[in-house]
Amino acid sequence: MKTEKEKMIAGEMYSPEDEQLVKERTSAHLKAQEFNRSETDKERQAIIKELFGSTGERITVEPTFRVDYGYNIHVGEDFYANFNCVFLDVCPIRIGKNAMLGPGVSLVTPEHPLEAEARNSGYEFGRPITIGDNCWIGASATIVGGVTLGDNVVVAAGAVVSRSFPDNVVVGGVPAKILKSIDDK
């Protein structure tokens, strides 16, 4: 029988009120508060490396920053997240190398059932987010669970990305759509 945590990470219906999950979420929230109060980049980097599931050596995350659990977040080398980002990581969030996130970016993996009775039960599920190498996510963009962005994708400021996109495109709008292709030249 799977634990609620195992169900959560697998994207199955689970109870977020499970005792283990509540403790882990509370611990991550306290660690994020410590990060947000830290005064130096060195302190913040050490806390993020402890909080995240895996990171490259060279990463920068600006305060304030919010997470659900932290351990489901994996970022590559030369990762940068500007001020006020939110990563709700009930399922894995994987971000490649050389990624830049503007201020106020939200990566949101949790979802709730559409049917009211199921939604009111308190159970939820999630879907992972995967972002390729060399991506730039503009200010206040939101990326929801189930999305995969290829390499070299640019997401316009304020976009809501609710479906996946291939390599080398600029996407924007609500919901996001391809605005143009990126030529390597």
What is the residue-wise DSSP string for 45-96?
Answer: HHHHHHHSSB--SSEEEPSPEEES-STTEEE-TTEEE-TTEEEE-SS-EEE-
DSSP letter for 101, please.
Answer: E
CB 113 within 8 Å of CB 150: no
Instruction: Report the candidate in 93, 79, 50, 44 with the shortest Cα–Cα distance to residue 64.
Output: 44
Tell me whether residue 112 is one of the annotated catalytic residues: yes
Strand, helix or coil at 132? coil
> Taking the CB of residue 174, how many other CB atoms lie within 10 A of it?
11
Strand, helix or coil at 114? coil
Q: Which of 5, 29, 97, 112 is catalytic?
A: 112
The residues assigned a catalytic role are 112
